[in-house]
C-alpha cells in the first residue's frame, strides 16, 4: 500500500513478524517462546484495531523487512514500510526521515494500555512542542513524536542507552533547544513481571 503524500499526521507502529524466538524473547524466557509470540500477535492486532482513527494515518513498520512486508498476519488495509537495519535508534531515525512531511509519532506494539486518547494527546502536544515523549516507568519511553518542520536532528538517538533507566533522558539530552512535551506514562511489556 502506498503512503498518502499529503501533509497529515502519521502514527507508525513498529512490529516484528510474530515467530517464536524472534519476538518478545525476554518474555519468552519466562513463559515460553511460542506463548510469547502468540501474545505479541494478538496484542498487536488489538492495538491496531484500537488505534485506527480518522485523525491520523496508521502505518506499520515491519521487521524483518522483506518477510514482514509480505506477511499475512497484519491487516492488508494498513500501509507498510520496512524498519531497515541497525539498532532501535537507527531504525526510528530512518522511519522519521522516510515519512512525508507532517507530524509523526512512533510507538511499539507492546503497550497494552495505549488508546487513541493518548495518541491524540501526543499529536496535540506537537502543536506547541517540537518533540513529545510518552514516558515509561522504567526510564524509557513508549512513544516519540516529532513536529517535523525541520529535518530530523542528526544526533536524536546518538549514544542512547536502550533498555536502561536513562533511555528517555539520553534522547532528550540529544536535542537541546527543542521544546519538549510529555504525555501519559504507560507500561510496555518486556517480561513476565510486566504481565
For a pLDDT cut of 90, what percent of the chain falls above it? 68
Per-residue pLDDT, 160: 97
Average pLDDT, the chain: 90
Distance (Å, whole) CA 44 – CA 47: 5
Predicted confidence band at 195 (pLDDT cuts at 50, 70, 90)? low
Predicted confidence band at 193 (pLDDT cuts at 50, 70, 90)? low
Give a yes or no: residue 143 inside a domain. yes
Alpha-helical runs (H) found in the chain: 25-31, 33-51, 65-70, 88-98, 116-125, 167-173
Q: What is the pLDDT of residues 102-148, one digit of tens each?
A: 999 999 998 989 999 999 999 999 999 999 999 999 999 999 999 99
Q: Looking at the 3D structure of the chain, how many domains does it have?
A: 1
Per-residue pLDDT, 25: 86
The CATH number that applies at residue 128 is 3.90.550.10
Strands 104-108 and 131-135, bridge-based pairing: unpaired
Residue 189 has pLDDT above 70, yes or no: no
What residue numbers bound the domain in which 37 lies? 10-194
Residue 1 has pLDDT above 50, yes or no: no
Cell output for 162 = 536502550
Give a yes or no: residue 5 inside a domain. no
Q: What is the pLDDT of residues 49-71, one digit of tens each?
A: 999 999 999 999 999 887 767 78
Give a yes or no: residue 121 inside a domain. yes
pTM for the complete prediction?
A: 0.92
Give a yes or no: residue 41 inside a domain. yes
Cell output for 169 = 533522558
User: Using an 8 Å Cβ cutoff, are 39 and 23 in contact?
Assistant: no
Give a yes or no: residue 91 inside a domain. yes
Terminal CA-to-CA distance of the chain, rounded, Å? 34
Give a yes or no: residue 4 inside a domain. no
Count how many residues are written for the chain. 195
The average pLDDT across 152-160 equals 93
The average pLDDT across 148-167 equals 92
Distance (Å, whole) CA 27 – CA 110: 11
Residue 191 has pLDDT above 90, yes or no: no
User: Which of 22-26, 88-92, 96-100, 129-133 shows the lowest per-residue confidence on average (mean pLDDT)?
Assistant: 22-26
Per-residue pLDDT, 2: 47
Predicted confidence band at 73 (pLDDT cuts at 50, 70, 90)? confident
User: Given strand 57-63, what is the order of strands in its sheet?
Assistant: 79-82, 57-63, 10-16, 104-108, 141-146, 131-135, 180-182
Give a yes or no: residue 1 inside a domain. no
Amino acid at each position: 500500500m502506498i503512503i498518502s503524500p499529503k501533509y497529515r499526521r502519521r502514527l507508525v507502529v513498529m512490529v516484528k513478524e510474530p515467530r517464536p524466538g524472534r519476538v518478545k524473547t525476554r518474555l519468552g524466557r519466562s513463559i515460553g517462546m511460542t506463548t510469547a509470540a502468540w501474545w505479541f500477535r494478538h496484542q498487536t492486532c488489538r492495538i491496531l484495531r484500537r488505534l485506527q482513527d480518522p485523525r491520523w494515518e496508521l502505518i506499520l513498520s515491519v521487521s524483518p523487512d522483506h518477510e514482514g512486508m509480505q506477511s499475512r498476519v497484519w491487516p492488508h488495509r494498513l500501509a507498510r514500510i520496512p524498519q531497515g537495519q541497525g539498532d532501535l535508534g537507527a531504525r526510528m531515525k530512518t522511519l522519521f526521515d522516510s515519512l512525508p512531511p507532517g507530524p509523526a509519532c512512533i510507538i511499539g506494539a507492546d503497550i497494552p494500555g495505549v488508546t487513541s486518547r493518548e495518541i491524540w494527546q501526543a499529536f496535540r502536544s506537537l502543536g506547541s512542542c517540537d518533540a513529545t515523549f510518552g514516558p515509561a516507568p522504567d526510564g524509557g519511553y513508549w512513544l516519540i513524536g516529532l513536529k517535523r518542520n525541520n529535518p530530523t536532528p542528526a544526533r536524536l538517538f546518538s549514544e542512547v542507552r536502550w533498555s536502561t533507566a536513562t533511555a528517555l533522558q539520553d534522547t532528550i539530552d540529544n536535542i537541546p533547544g527543542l521544546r519538549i512535551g510529555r504525555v501519559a506514562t504507560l507500561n510496555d511489556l518486556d517480561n513476565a513481571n510486566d504481565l
